[in-house]
Amino acid sequence: MTPALQLAGCWTAMISPFSMDGSAVDLVRWQQQIEFQAKAGVRGIVPCGTTGEAPTLSFEEQRILISSAVEIARLHGLQVMGGAGSNNTHHAVQLHRMVAACGANAALHVAPYYNKPSQEGIYRHFMTIAESCDLPIVLYSIPSRCGVAILPETVERLACHPNIVAIKEATGSVESASEIQRRCDLAMLSGDDSLTIAFASVGAIGVVSVVSNVVPDRVQAMVDACLRNDFSAAREQHASLLPLAKGLLSLDVNPVAVKTAMKILGRDAGSLRLPLVEPTAPVQKQIRDLLHGQRLTMQPDSIHA
């Protein structure tokens, strides 16, 4: 039986480890990455999202990554939120049912991208998915990538469906987050590492984090402080993490910088898949300098910057 979904905490948006030529997923590295997260005490992991280069994964690769994530995570008390988003509603339903069949605790569904549907289209898209099976759904609003946001009034309508249980809010707007919290009791997770504490101040209960690929213990500690209303401690963690959060998400498009950082730290996640490519030498040096500033242990020969 799949354990009940528990959302509060840090959820790591996992990278997808590939072979060096990018042709296959590397399940040995995948297990190592999940075990690293478990030892750090995060709430759960999110395979096959934006950070996992989901648009480049085949259906079978997605199934393998999510099913193996569930198997490994359960051994370590982690929960799994499988990425299942698509701008094709029929395909999103197929992915949603696959994530459910793998035994994940929830599925993460991004707003339809490229199509730029109306709010009514967004509403019908998510309702169709929600009706397809009983797996809990976490909405994902990220207009910078999708071209459209899930507006608070649409979130309010969607929150009436029992299978729609939370939202990953990556609009960058505390006002939008506040309005959603005012309109409904849907659980909220921050979708931006730099805004985790700000969103917590208006009711968010955690974060889907990119930075926690690198320092999961520190991100979880910040969320724990927020959850116990110790915002003094949370601010200290936030100030410490902010350079890393800003750098890894601005020096290149996600997940280029975080994969590069992991390689520098001796936790190589393999290649990127086209159309993503490795960063330039100057950017690699900036990433190395950023990690040095965080006093993280680096492998001297991992990248020649």
Sorted by where each begins, the domain ranges of the chain are 9-230
The whole-number pLDDT of residue 299 equals 63
Q: How far apart are the first and last CA of the chain?
A: 48
The whole-number pLDDT of residue 2 equals 83
- The kind and range of the H/E element at 220 are helix 216-227
**Structural Rg of the chain based on CA atoms:** 18
The whole-number pLDDT of residue 300 equals 54
Structure tokens at 38: 């478990």
Structure tokens at 108: 């993460």
Residue 37 · residue 78 · CB < 8 Å: yes
* Residue 140, strand partner residues: 110, 168
* Residue 214 CA to its chain's centroid (Å): 13
The whole-number pLDDT of residue 1 equals 74
Distance CA(160)–CA(96), nearest Å, equals 19
Domain spanning 9-230: CATH 3.20.20.70: yes
- The kind and range of the H/E element at 123 are helix 119-132
Along the 305 residues of the chain, how does pLDDT read in single tens digits?
788 999 999 999 999 999 988 899 999 999 999 999 999 999 999 999 999 999 999 999 999 999 999 999 999 999 999 999 999 999 999 999 999 999 999 999 999 999 999 999 999 999 999 999 999 999 999 999 999 999 999 999 999 999 999 999 999 999 999 999 999 999 999 999 999 999 999 999 999 999 999 999 999 999 999 999 999 999 999 999 999 999 999 999 999 999 999 999 999 888 999 999 999 999 999 999 999 999 997 765 444 33
Distance CA(84)–CA(99), nearest Å, equals 7
CA dist list (Å): 235 to 67, 186, 219, 238, 290 = 37, 25, 12, 5, 20
What pairing do the DSSP bridges indicate for beta strands 206-209 and 164-169? Answer: unpaired
- Active site positions, annotated: 140, 168
